Every structure is written in C-alpha cells, then in structure tokens.
Chain A
C-alpha cells in the first residue's frame, strides 16, 4: 500500500527560488503561452470526453421515446419530460424498492465496518497482547484475497445456512470490518500520543470512553475517508448482490439496472433514467464532498 503522500496538487503555489536570491530566476517555472494554450486544449478535450457520456445519458433520460427515435442524440430534450422517471418509479419496474434496499444495505455495512474496524485497529495500535503482531500479519495477508475468488464458497455457505436471498446475505460478509480499514486506522491511531491516553485514564476515563471520546474524535479525517470509501464501494457493488439475490425482494440498484436493461433493451430513454437514478446519489455526494473524496482517493488508493 505504498501510496504517495496526500498533497494538494491542483492549485499548487509557485516555488520561490531557493533562498530567494535576487536575480536568480525560478527556473522550474518557465512559461510559454503556446505551451499553456496547448495544455488547456488537451485538458479541455479530456474533460469533454469524460463528461460527454454523462451529458448524453442525462439528456436522453429526459426525452420522450418519440423524440429519441426521431432526432439525433445531441439534441436537447424537447419537450423536457419526467415521463421516464415516473414510469421507472411506478408500475412493474418500481425502482423505489431497489433504492430502499441499497440504502439499508449500505447503512448497515457502513456502521458495522466503521465500529468494528475502529475497535480492531485500536487493539492493534495501542494495546499490548501476546501474538499481536502475528495476528496483524494475518490481517495484512488477507488483503491479497480478491472478491472473485471467494464469491463461490460464500454463495455455498449462504445456501447451506438458508440465508440465500435474504438481507443478511447482502450485509454479513462485509459488516464486520475490513482488513484494509483496520490497516489504515491502525496507522493513524499509532500517531496519537500515549501520554494523551494515559492522562485521560488518570482523570478516570475508562477504556471505552477513551476510545470513543478521545481517540475517534482525533481521527475524524481518516474515519470520514473510510466512510466515503465504504459508501461508494457498496452502493456500486454488483457481483455479490447479483449472485446472492433472486427476484425483486432484495434486489439492489445495480442489479435492478442490469435487469431493466436486459429486459427493455430498446427502451433507451427508460434505461438511461435508470442509470441516472443509480448514479445520482453518489454524484450528489461527490458534488458536496469532492475535495475530501479526491484526497481520500490519493491517500488510500481505495477501490
């Protein structure tokens, strides 16, 4: 997990020549207008290519099927219609349930991952017990286990315990914390001075109080990073829900979108409304917390 330091990169200040000796030009920042223009052109092309598919799909979601069929993809929705969304949320498609199931699933996994990873990380960072380092090594080794490898045995285990196609099957494998979260939190907890903890203990604070009222508040940054990681990766999770649920009861949003697409292949305005709904919550979250999220990614390399 050799990730580089989280550094502010975008609007980085120009370096001053070392020592600021007068007459020594800061050679690292030679500027030529032509190079600047070329840079902007490439960056703009990249932005257009990135945003284009989103713009096209959102536009399509607000078009009537008639307009979609008769006019080119680039035309704006006219009339601007919410028909696709109302179809999506009513009748046989009913996208309400997948959203509710996904939200519940993410909430339970989020609370479980945070609480249990924080507890384990604190034990590894601040407590002394026999076998601690060997055990931590086991945690690190499990980072190598890819999801594709364990979905088959997990599926069999769920079938054998009668939990296939239940809410528990969706959340249990993920709600006891992740080795990766434990690893990240442990790094941070170790940087909290022991003196602080000892002082709190002398003042009469118990073990649990020290953890939740002193250590956790001091780690707000990394905890919110982990919260974002968990929300994004589980809102977007597809393979496990696809395998472990059948029918509509516990269908999550990604599975519902995939099913809608394969059933109503030609009805693209409806399908684009579905992808818009599937992506919207995270895009809104990203809009609000973009800075934190961008920095969380470079800090942790989460996937």
Chain B
C-alpha cells in the first residue's frame, strides 16, 4: 500500500468527475423517468406511467422508425464507400497521401456548421445544387427528400473517416498472405473478397460499432438541416425527439428521460450483438 496516498491524490479529480458527471446523471435520469416534472410545478412520482405513455405514443414510434431508416441508410453506404476508397488508396499511387488528407477534412469540421453549409446548398430557390443543375427540388421541405438529404450529408461528412480505418486495416495485412494467394492464381478480385476482406474483420467491427453508435445519436447536422423533426416528422430521429421533448415544448423531462433510457438500452444491445456476431469471424488479430 505504499502508494496509497499519492494514488488517492492522483485519482481524486478524475473520480470526482466520473461520479458526478457520468454516474450520478444515470441515476438522475432513471429517477426523472419515474416522475412527472416540468422544472416548475412540484415533481410528482408516477411510477411507470411515463414508460407506458412513451412506448404507446405514435410520435415516439415514428422517431424510432426514422432513426432506424437513418442508420440503415447511412451505415451501409458509408462503410462500402469508405472501403472502396481505401482499396483505391491502398494501391499506393503517387498522391494517395494528399487524397487521404482531403477526404478527412469534413470530419474535422463542426457537424453543425457543415449542416448549415448544406442547408444553403440544398435551399430551394437560391441554393447551389438546384442552381447548378437547373432543378427546383425542395430537398429539405419535401417529405420524400428530407431523409435522403439528411442521410446524404451525414455520409458525405463521414466517408473519409471510415476510409482512414480501412486503410490502416489494409496496410496491416501481411504482404506475404496476399502474395501467396496470387501465386496460387487468385485474381485481385478473388484476393480482395477471399483474403483481404476476411482479414479486415476487426477493422470492420470497429467501423460498424462506432458508426452505428454515432448514427443512433445523430443530432447536430439534422438540427441544422431540418429543425423540429423535418417535414411531417420525416427526420424526427430519436436525439432530435429527446431534445424537442425536453427543451422545446413544455419541458416534459419524464418522457424525455424514458426516451433517453430506451436509446441507452438500444446502444448497449447493438454493441453486444455486434460483438457476438464478429467474435466468430475475427480470425486475425491486428492489435
């Protein structure tokens, strides 16, 4: 125990932060979910009423549906495009390093600011897209286009980030394995699908888990592009619903807390399911 005191001093600030700003909020959100409260009137304990209320509410059902559509639009495209660009960059042509840097640029910028930039590009009358192609589509206020637009902007801003991980994964595959396959007569197409892709298992796991988790929480760019849930609630994803429920429209803290907890459970489940799915497939440890 000779380090007892020094250790306590080292850990104290971080433990304080962890306890007060991460663990305590979890307890508070559970407590809030069991009460009806708008910050003004006295708090009223209502047991599971908020849960019944939220889980039978069509608005919440719509939000869950919109979130799933958003995640299922963003993740496959973002992953496939990222992998495709990584494969092209991994051919090592001169200048590949410059492209790699360019692709990451959107990722370094505030999603809110990028959302505002795209809000102009997609604006119906004076926006750049309609202007350039002579169109007159209401990208952000037409219920048919709002979700594709929001998903497209998200993919645009994240592909480069995904590319980086696949590049690192591809570079970690030993050349000898690829060469052995090619000496056996495999084409580059076969080598990709049967040698490289299986070996990218751990990278794929990382990219999918972090991608899905962040897509479930997407808020900033959606808030900028289509505030208040979008046209006819078509982009009313869960994070935007929680925000609207808690902070715009009467401080329904109990209901918003239930939604936050539902999201939390979903995210933990997603992580565990993906972990299980990939644990059989990870054949080559990159770490």
Contact = CB atoms under 8 A, between A and B. Distances in A.
B101 A290 contact: yes
B13 A119 contact: yes
Contacts, number: 324
By DSSP majority rule, is chain A's interface helix, strand, loop, or mixed? helix
A267 B11 CA distance: 51
B41 interface: no
A91 B113 CA distance: 22
Interface in B182-210: 182-183, 188, 202-203, 205-206, 210
Contact of A116 (B17, B156, B183, B214): B17
A123 interface: yes
B135 interface: no
B263 A148 contact: yes
Contacts of A54: 105-106, 117
Interface in B3-27: 3-4, 6-7, 9-11, 13-18, 21-27
Interface string A263-274: 000101001101
Contact of B112 (A7, A74, A238): A238
A147 B104 CA distance: 24
A159 to B, nearest CB: 6
Contacts of B95: 40, 43
A227 interface: no
A274 B90 CA distance: 37
B164 A298 contact: yes
A50 B106 contact: yes
Interface residues of A, number: 110
A64 interface: no
Interface in B95-121: 95-114, 116-121
Interface stretch (A78-86, A218-226, A254-262): A254-262
Interface of B: 1-4, 6-7, 9-11, 13-18, 21-29, 32, 39, 85, 88-114, 116-121, 123, 126-128, 131-132, 156, 159-161, 164-165, 167-172, 175-176, 178-179, 182-183, 188, 202-203, 205-206, 210, 213-214, 216-217, 219-220, 223-224, 227, 238-239, 242-243, 246-247, 253, 256-257, 260-261, 263-264, 267-268, 271, 286-287
Interface string A36-60: 1001101100110111011011001
In the A-B complex, list the 6 residue pairs whose CB atoms are closest, starting with the nearest.
Answer: A176-B17, A10-B97, A153-B28, A120-B14, A236-B110, A153-B25
